[in-house]
Homo-oligomer: A and B are copies of this chain.
């Protein structure tokens, strides 16, 4: 029952509503788009579309507004991801290329994405679970304290201060460091617990308490950060767009790691763009907002996700294009480093 013209009408409604932020009526539609039919015909189509739940009117005798279902159809079947312009691509490339470390990469990425889309950008730190141990370092800080540093091949650094049970001398530490590195080098983080399980037994008895202490910290640091850090930027862009739902809720959600986590995390397909629209969203405070998410990572392994969050009334083709492009460039940068 959805013939081509009705779809064209829906597309026109979405496009007009996105650009004007006002309910769009049949006459305006006939004027702005060359649909080749009269307003009356459009009215009939709109009545059908409304009955099917793709559009709605805020009140009787006002124009129509797309529903979440309408946006969904638009995204799935009526729109094409819009590639970025050449200057934009160049700007992204040079901006990201200047990053000095992983923190810098993430920070630049999130800012870039926020500025590009004029919305709120969200970036998840590369997951450690998929990465490998590059080096373990033990740095004595004082007699009874040392710093434990774990460096991964994604450039991530985990650090912990460890309180030691006894005074230990430098040599033992050096020995343990060598043993740890020999044991773990190149090992995937997921495999670390297995690799170190029998380590204390392979050491001389006097080293075991030290080893046990450090290992417990090591293991703890692995699970601790299993819930990954997420940063956002561009909150100022929310101030312009007026939300149906309070913007306080949105800001709260943004500062709640757990919510963000679920937002980014619950996407089945990592290699493609995921769009979640309004009420499709798991979190009640984020009705009225949509998110566009893409996975990124070096090679074909997806390390983490990034995306933007904005009002359901957003320009999906452009936003999706920006997210996809940024995800690709970040992947490149990470692969190169």
Contact = CB atoms under 8 A, between A and B. Distances in A.
Interface SS of A by simple majority = mixed
A134 interface: yes
A100 interface: yes
A233 B255 contact: yes
A2 interface: no
Contact of A248 (B100, B139, B161, B240): B240
Interface in A240-282: 240, 246-248, 251-252, 254-255
Nearest to A101: B159
A28 interface: no
Contacts of A221: 100
Interface in A189-216: none
Contacts of A43: none
Interface residues of A, number: 33
Interface in A15-60: none
B141 A139 contact: no
Nearest to A239: B248
Contact of A247 (B101, B239, B252): B239
A246 B239 CA distance: 8
A141 B337 CA distance: 10
A238 interface: yes
A6 interface: no
Interface in A149-170: 149, 151, 153, 155, 157, 159-161
A155 B151 contact: no
A101 to B, nearest CB: 5
A151 B147 contact: yes
A220 to B, nearest CB: 8
B224 A239 contact: no
A236 interface: yes
A58 B246 CA distance: 28
A238 B134 CA distance: 43
Contacts of A141: 134-135, 153
B161 A147 contact: no
A93 interface: no
A141 B132 CA distance: 12
A228 interface: no
A111 B199 CA distance: 39
> Which 10 residue pairs are nearest across A and B when measured between Cβ atoms?
A239-B248, A236-B251, A236-B252, A135-B139, A235-B251, A157-B159, A236-B248, A101-B159, A137-B137, A239-B247
13 contacts: A100-B160, A100-B224, A101-B159, A101-B161, A134-B141, A141-B153, A149-B151, A155-B159, A155-B161, A157-B157, A234-B255, A236-B252, A236-B255
Interface of A: 100-101, 134-135, 137, 139, 141, 147, 149, 151, 153, 155, 157, 159-161, 221, 224, 233-236, 238-240, 246-248, 251-252, 254-255, 337
